[in-house]
Amino acid sequence: MSSPSTRTAPALDLHGRTALVTGAAGGIGRACTLRLAAAGARVRAVDRDATGLAELVDCAGRALGTAGGGAVEPYVLDLTDLDAAERAAAGTDVLVNNAGLQLVRPIEEFPPAVFHTVLTVMLEAPFRLIRGALPHMYAQGWGRIVNVSSVHGLRASAYKSAYVAAKHGLEGLSKTAALEGAPHGVTSNCVNPGYVRTPLVEKQLADQARAHGIPEERVLSEVLLTDSAVKRLVEPEEVAEAVAYLCAPQASFVTGTSLVLDGGWTAH
């Protein structure tokens, strides 16, 4: 019998599995797509950005080479088409709800139409995707749902009413899916990063500067990272590794929880 010091954790092997990742053309979604494909999964890369998806497929082809097993299949889809989103999830073994959008405005200035769109893409679409994926997962007695939430699923920030509301709702949806899925071998968890080095965060700088009345160059240190003990952005690949862990054999007992990568933000 091997000692604890010499035991090796089982590697993530998703050969023969189909994964679906939303918001796959860039940032966290791109990193998750490449990580799951590297583990052998056939990944449905969902995004409305056809050009970004084509670049992702090209990158995946170079990265995967002739290793076999893993592949990336582009799937152009606007998640506001909820019926199409549910259909896209049919037959998936691993579902990563990642797509998101952001607008920084005081509540009294927040456009109701944008609030509606944010909730549709970031909460209602994940519900429909989960709904579409569960029949297959239940039938085979195995499935992994990973919802890319945020520290804003656990903490609020001013001027982000739609984003915070969507992420808090996603936390509740994820826990409900965990309770219902447990008897069927399906886990559901959230991954909660702080600010990640993505185009979504970069686009916030001007909005945050305007909302707080400070120059853009001061936003990163004085607004975005003020509550983080680790004063840097999270890298997309770090989030992808957390997602991969939740799909691995050693995480089969982890469900209904939130894996926080916030640099100590919520330790306050």
Render pLDDT for 69-105 as a digit per residue (tens, 0 to 9): 799 999 999 999 999 999 999 999 999 999 999 999 9
Quick check: 24 pLDDT over 80?
A: yes
**CB contact at 8 A, 239 and 191:** yes
Active site positions, annotated: 163
What is the pTM assigned to this prediction? 0.91
pLDDT tier for residue 5 given thresholds of 50, 70 and 90 = low
The residues facing 257 across adjacent strands are none
d(C-alpha 164, C-alpha 150), whole Å: 9
Cβ 22 vs Cβ 29: under 8 Å: yes
Q: What is the mean pLDDT of residues 208-227?
A: 82
Work out the end-to-end distance of the chain between its first and last CA atoms, rounded to an integer number of angstroms. 43
The full set of domains in the chain, from first to last, is 18-196+234-267 (3.40.50.720)
Q: Are 72 and 56 in contact (CB under 8 A)?
A: yes
Q: Which residues pair with 45 in a beta bridge?
A: 21, 74
Q: What are phi and psi of 228, to 5 degrees?
A: -95, 130
